[in-house]
Amino acid sequence: MIDASARTFIDEILADPDVAPRIAHVESAPARDADWAPLPDGLDPRLLEALKAKGYERLYSHQRASYDAIRAGENVVVVTPTASGKTLCYNLPVVQTLLEEPEARALYLFPTKALSQDQQAELNEVALGGSLPVGIYTYDGDTPSSLRVAARDSGRIVITNPDMLHSGVLPNHAKWIRFFAGLRYVVVDEAHAYRGVFGSHVANVIRRLKRVAAFYGAHPRFVLCSATIGNPEELASALVEEPVRALSENGAPRGERRVVFYNPPLLDPVQGIRKSTATESEKLALLLLRRGVKTILFARSRLKVELIASYISKALENLYTGNGGVRVSPYRSGLLPSERRAIEKGLREGSIQGVVSTNALELGIDIGGLDAAVVAGFPGSFASFWQQAGRAGRRGSVSVAFLVASSSPLDQFILAHPEYFFGRSPESARIDPDNPYIFADHAKCAAFELPFKEGESLGKAGPEATAEVLSMLEEEGLVRLTGGRWYWSAAGYPSEAISLRSATADNVVIVDRTGGGARVIGEMDRPSAKELIFDDAVYIHLGRQYKVRKLDLANKTCFVEEKEVDYWTDSIVKTDLEVLTEDEEGLLAAQGGRGPLASWVLGDVLVRTEAEKYKKLRFHTHENVGYGEISLPPEEMQTRSLVLLLPPGSAGGDLVAACPEGGKAALLAGAARLIHDLAPVFLMCDGRDLGLAERVRDPHFGVPAIYFYDRYPGGTGLAEGLAELLGPAIRAARERLASCGCEEGCPSCVGVDFGEAAGPQAARGGRAVKASVLELLSALSEAAPGDGQEP
Amino acid sequence: MAKNLKGRLARLRELGLVKAAELEAPGAGEKGAFSGGAAEGEAAAQGGAPVGEGGSTSPSARRRPGAGARGARAGGGERPGVPSFLAGWTQAAELVWERELRFPSHLPPLIDPRPFAAMSRKAARGSLDAAKPGVRSAAKPGARAADGAAPLGAGGRPEAATRGAGLAGGADGLLPSESLRFFDLETTGLSGGSGTVAFLAAVGRIEAGEFAVRQLFLADYPGERAWLEALLSLLSEGSVVTTYNGRAFDLPLLRTRLVMNGMRPPSFAEIDALFVARRLWRRVHGGASLSLLERLVLDLERELDVPGSAIPDIWFSYLREGDHPLMAAAMAHNAEDVSGLERLAARAARIFEEPRAWAASGAVDRAGLGRGLLALGRADEGEELLEAALGEGDAAAGLLLSRRYRREGRLEDRRRVVGMLPEGLESCVERAKFHEHALKDFRAALAWTDRAISWAREGGGTEAFEALEARRARLLRKLERGG
């Protein structure tokens, strides 16, 4: 917890001569008092007693509002930041109902196991405190079989996660007959986590859940909790396919919070090269940690987490002072669950003072009170940033969050426009429950659970689409239509092979063979494995370096051995595209009825990726010290894409046509890169969720084309989202470029390699490329090229 | 978005595309389109469908429409006439067929059911997975527990196996064997989830000196309710349902099928012979599957038996094609399972009637039989067998006896048994305990503790070590005080 002396440390750091010149902006949000409401009337006396025993004499306004709406029978989504007492928003009305109706049951869904163990502890406190007759059980992969039986039979509140619901509970629903028959509430916590791939899967699991509940005569109400996103009501109703009321007024008190924008110094203003984000973030973290400020540093990738954590630990190394009493740990998925639990515990208990993490720690896992957050590079969405920043000052005391910009166009844009950052509403979360692959997978599971009647619809997908997918499944020999019903007719257990979280269920297990042993140290999905842990790659885990001896895809195993080297490996991925369908099209229209600026097409594409080579990059300097070959089979997938077309006759197309032949590739590449980098500002995705490819002469459309495709098979709504937001994305791209102070292009705008076609000319022609890209983007956003340019 | 879904799905079918696949994976060759019978195992377990998980397909091998389409695509499943394997069966209801087979019977007219439930909590621990002692399973809806009958598929403790009104039997606790219903199912999978269907059932009973097996065959899904009703009437009538691993599999599955058809599961007494079989034979033969014990204990070889794992696909294939050459064999397999179960039960009953003779023959696990006898209250016989086992080096038998004698205060018996314990960590600990508490000989106890510690060093795990250190410390304190 920060006291006045900690606050002074923050002021000290901000005044530090190494830090102060880099500060682009400081925003302070003052402390805020609580908004109170009385406890509701008519509470069961046992519940009342339990509340009073825990010190609850009254409620925050949003907790009361939530109670009233839920008891009135509405579906509700409670929208609040972390640490605002959201648990009571659903616990109170649920437990009250359970006390009134002895047969009533409730299901609590959390995205991960760790969260649900956390919540169980909190719930048990409330329930046991008043010795309430409400049996609460966690039901997940770790639950021993004796407790599983108890949970099914006597659990009034069952806590689980979507994966367990999908593969453990729903396919065995006949064992849960009493539970489903009495199911009154389904609580979906951290609902903002259910976006993209995962969200599309979970929406389908909820469709199956409602279907099974209806079989037993139950129609539960849904209570969702979400962090602040742009469209909580829309996301919630898309997840549960029913109307949901959003409650977004937050009555909880809040401590003072400062957000500091920090821009690493320019090393070469002409070339636009800045000091590395990682190095600067480490510096800030060390300044904080050395002053005893408990700090979390968020990095963009698992690799960076490992690198930064080891740099910081090395910097703190001091045999005499025992590293100054500071312990810093990396944290990311891919660590074993036991390793992650140990780190969470260390943070809570204070034996670990600093943690370097990916966004894995964004979700509400309780890690106790951290005082400062350093966010190394914009995490791709505002919602993510606020979740990460919100890790500091959890207990409502003074906190500080640093955003350390990278040189990417997006980060530089944000730093230059704090009003945009603080003024805008956060992104919207998107899902696509009708992604045909996802839908077909869940139709299989649903058929296993209950036979489909002819004409039945799975959720709101519609009877025609449902029938279509069922006859596809019949062709596969998985279901049989007879007597007016579709029956599951295969020996397998479909949900086993379907993972809710990755494109394929083929995870590769990483095994450490050092010294002749065989220890599992992590796992990774197959497509990522091909790009990250190919033969001879450097793999970093919990700060230790390993070299990959063999990636055995057939057996889904990767063998590594500990080895210290002074470089890391970065693969070069080649991408091919084939257009499969054109489903929708549109124009980027000019104001005032002049001809179109460009056109676009939305459809399915086939993407083929292959990692052929890799670079060896020295630690710290990132200089290239060699190449290596990768010989792995390519991956192929079908997905959704938005194609931006620049045909002759459109303003954009004419500009490209007028460009000299040798410069067309660079022009397209530069424009594409900028639009792609800024798109996440508008969609709620990570830059890596969106793939990019440009073609000067596209083989299918015959004109210059830029493809933006969803990197998840079948798509998760990103391409559709971009179709709606293309105009604003192009305008933001143009603005970033116009205000960039470099002379010949830099990583913060058009980049420095202008595609393969550009060749060695590129460096000399950078100025020309920058100018032509600016011209193109200006034409596409109907601005004059001179607008907003730095003098 | 839903409006596009049908179109997108239709296009997926046309183009036959997979979700995310490896192209030309090294050495894997081409996995062809899912084909019913041949795709047992791998593809079947995955659900087989390229929509979902991709096999390796090169672009030219992508599935085209019609590839994999089966004959009986038309709904309603019209098939050309009655399948060949139903010769000799009679139709019992729409889509339900039955027949009766007769086998020789082996059970005596009266049977003692207690050995089949013969497991105390202690005896059960460490020997079985199926029912964990101490697990309480609450009454399921529909189950009547008033008369003490174990609810169907309760999964409770082994000794619950033979509670129940049906087992009240005569004053001597014996049951008429005619009241037993031996029962086995063939299903479409092993998972027990709601998508697994039972399509073949065999119920065997002793009738007029013979073993009559009635079988019910489900010809297609819509007949299930009638099939279940027929099965229930075969199983109840005041009977004791006897199965092999039925507690963990067949009975819960039956219960699930009843729930799926909106029928109330009845309750009746049940016996699962797996437990006594494991006790008698697992250590001797290295396993306790019914097929293994049929061969090694009963000396029965089945000709041309269909392996159980192939049976689900035989039924699916028949549904699509209208017939299947191996179905008759599968049906025979099912009936023979039940007949084999009756024989095995008869053998187990005889063993418990003359345990000493059987133990001497070496055909049963002496210690297992001994434990069973103890649980039945037949102390003399049980102890004799366990001591004989100990005499041949069975440490577990010795430890069990030592603890038993300690509880019963039989010092001399315990001394004898402790002296016979073979070398090992637990034996040393037991000897240490004996010397410390029974004889108050702390010096000897310390010596045994030290022996145990050196055993623990060679790999007993830290818990054993810590406990031993604690014991050692306590003994040293006692020696100090007592001198």
Residue range A247-269, pLDDT digits in tens: 988 888 777 888 999 999 988 77
Q: What is the 3-state secondary structure (H, E, C) of B384-426?
A: HHHHHHHHCCCHHHHHHHHHHHHHCCCHHHHHHHHHHCCCCHH
| CA distance, residue B10 to nearest chain A CA (Å) | 7
Q: A210, A238, A236: which is closest to A224 by C-alpha? A: A236
User: Which ranges of B207-363 does DSSP label H, i.e. alpha helix?
Assistant: 224-235, 251-260, 274-277, 283-285, 290-296, 311-321, 327-353, 355-361
Residues 255-294 of A with CB under 8 A from B: none
Q: Which two tokens stand for residue A132?
A: 């309430």
A535 touches B: beta carbon within 8 Å: no
Q: Which member of A437, A451, A490 has the closest CB to residue B316?
A: A490
What is residue A664's predicted lDDT score, i.e. its pLDDT?
87
The pair of structure tokens assigned to B476 is 């040293």
User: CA gyration radius for chain B?
Assistant: 29
How far apart are the CA of B355 and the nearest CA of chain A, in angstroms? 34
CA angle A45, A46, A47 (to 5 degrees): 90
Q: Which residues of B touch A483 (CB under 8 A)?
A: 75-77, 220-222
Q: How far apart are CA B342 and CA B213, in angstroms?
A: 11
Q: How much is the CA Rg of chain A, to the nearest whole Å?
A: 27
* Contact residues on chain A for B22, CB-CB shorter than 8 A: 526, 553, 633-636
- The DSSP line for A407-463 is SSHHHHHHHH-HHHHHHSPPPBP---TT-HHHHHHHHHHHHHHSPEETT--SGGG-H
Residues of chain B with pLDDT > 90: what percent?
A: 48
**A714 close contact with B: CB closer than 8 A:** yes
What was the pLDDT predicted at B35? Answer: 25
Residue with tokens 């204070």: A350
pLDDT at residue A121, rounded to an integer: 64
Q: Is the ipTM of this complex over 0.85?
A: no
pLDDT of residue A786: 66
B391 CB within 8 Å of a chain A CB = no
Contacts of B249 (CB under 8 A, 6+ apart): B190, B192
| Structure tokens, A256 | 């003072």
pLDDT at A278: 87
Q: Are the beta carbons of B23 and A714 separated by less than 8 Å?
A: no
Answer whether A462 sits within 8 Å of B75, measured CB to CB.
Answer: no
User: From the list A434, A461, A505, which residue is nearest B53 (CB)?
Assistant: A505
Looking at every residue in chain A, the average pLDDT score rounds to 84
Chain B within 8 Å of A527 (Cβ-Cβ)? yes
Binding-face residues of B in 422-481 toward A, CB within 8 A: none
Please give the C-alpha separations between residue A209 and each of A212, A482, B252, in angstroms, as whole numbers.
5, 25, 22
Judged by CB atoms closer than 8 Å, whether chains meet at B75 and A553 is answered as no
Q: Does B261 touch chain A (CB under 8 A)?
A: no
Strand ranges for B43-161 from DSSP E: 90-93, 96-104, 110-111
Q: B419-473: per-residue pLDDT in tens?
A: 999 988 889 999 999 999 989 999 999 999 999 888 888 775 677 788 888 999 9
What is the least distance, in Å, from the CA of B117 to any CA of chain A?
20
Name residues 461-490 of chain A within 8 A of B (Cβ).
Answer: 461-462, 464-465, 468-469, 472-478, 480-485, 487-490
CA distance A478 to chain B (A): 7
User: Could you give the angle at the alpha carbon of B135 between the alpha carbons of B130 and B137, nearest 5°?
Assistant: 100
Tokens of A603: 């459809």
At residue B189, the pLDDT reads 92
Single pTM value for the model: 0.77
Give the C-alpha distances (Å, rounded to integers) separating B350 from A613, A753, B122.
73, 86, 24
Q: What is the arithmetic mean of pLDDT over A343-352?
A: 79
A578 vs B: CB within 8 A: no
User: Are the beta carbons of A149 and B135 separated by less than 8 Å?
Assistant: yes
Helix, strand, coil shares of chain A as percentages rounded to 5? Answer: 40, 25, 35
| pLDDT of residue B47 exceeding 50 | no
Interface test with B, best of A482, A531, A550, A605 (most B CBs within 10 A): A482
Give the model confidence (pLDDT) of B351-405 as tens digits. 999 999 998 888 899 999 999 899 888 999 999 999 999 999 899 999 999 999 9
Per-position b or e across A469-491, b if 16+ CB within 10 A of its CB: bbbbbbbbbbbbbbbebbbbbbb
Asked if B11 lies within 8 A of A498 by C-beta distance, the reply is: no
How close A600 gets to chain B, by Cα (Å)?
Answer: 18
Specify burial of residue A573 (Cβ count, 10 A radius: 0-12, 13-18, 19+).
middle
Task: Tell me the chain B residues in contact with residue A153 when contact means C-beta distances shorter than 8 Å.
Answer: 137-138, 140
CB contact under 8 A, A503 and B19: yes
Q: Give contacts of A433 with chain B, Cβ < 8 Å.
A: 1
What is the sign of the dihedral through the CA atoms of A768, A770, A771 and A773? positive
Q: Please write the tens of the pLDDT for every residue from A372-419.
A: 899 998 887 777 788 788 777 755 567 889 999 988 777 888 888 787
Chain A positions touching B6 (Cβ under 8 A) are: 462, 464-465, 468
Residues on chain A touching B48 (C-beta within 8 angstroms)? 476-478, 490, 492
Q: Which residues of A touch B1 (CB under 8 A)?
A: 432-434, 720
- Residue B259: pLDDT over 70: yes
**Strand (E) or helix (H) holding A775:** helix A766-781
B20, A580: Cβ pair inside 8 Å?
no
The DSSP 8-state label assigned to residue A166 in this structure reads: I
Please tell me if residue B264 touches chain A, with a CB cutoff of 8 Å.
no
Q: How many CB pairs under 8 A join A and B?
A: 233
Interface-testing mutation among B51, B260, B261, with chain A (most A C-beta atoms within 10 A):
B51
pLDDT bin (cut points 50, 70, 90) of residue B1 is very low
Using CA atoms, how far apart are residues A92 and A570, in angstroms rounded to an integer?
51
Task: Give which of B159, B105, B338 is closest to B235, Cα–Cα.
Answer: B338
- Distance (Å, rounded) from C-alpha B325 to C-alpha B450? 67
Contact A484 B28 (CB under 8 A): no
Q: What are the residue ranges of helices labelled H in A683-759?
A: 718-738
Distance CA B479, CA B443 (A): 7
Q: Is the pLDDT of residue A87 over 60?
A: yes
Residues of A in contact with B40 (CB under 8 A): 491
State both tokens at B311.
């049976």
- Give the pLDDT confidence score for residue A301 in this predicted structure: 79
Among partner residues B8, B28, B194, which is closest to A436 by beta-carbon distance? B8
A146 touches B at CB < 8 Å: yes
Interchain CB distance below 8 Å, B191 and A713 = no
pLDDT confidence of residue A483 = 93
Q: For residue A135, what pLDDT band results from cuts at 50, 70 and 90?
A: confident
- How many percent of chain A have pLDDT more than 70? 87
pLDDT confidence of residue A360? 65
Q: Which of B193, B222, B259 sits opposite A177 (nearest CB)?
A: B259
Q: b vs e for A520-530, b when ≥16 Cβ sit within 10 Å of the residue's Cβ?
A: ebbbbbbbebb
Contacts of A633 in chain B (CB under 8 A): 22-26
Q: Does B52 touch chain A (CB under 8 A)?
A: yes
CB contact under 8 A, B222 and A485: yes
Residue numbers of A between 183 and 202 with CB closer than 8 Å to B: none
Distance from CA of A215 to the nearest CA of B (A): 9
Q: Which of B11, B22, B157 to probe the A interface (max A CBs under 10 A)?
A: B22
Mark yes or no for CB contact B137/A634 under 8 Å: no
Give A-chain residues touching B54 at CB under 8 angstroms: 504
Looking at every residue in chain B, the average pLDDT score rounds to 77
pLDDT of residue B33 exceeding 70: no
| pLDDT greater at residue B224 or residue B304 | B224
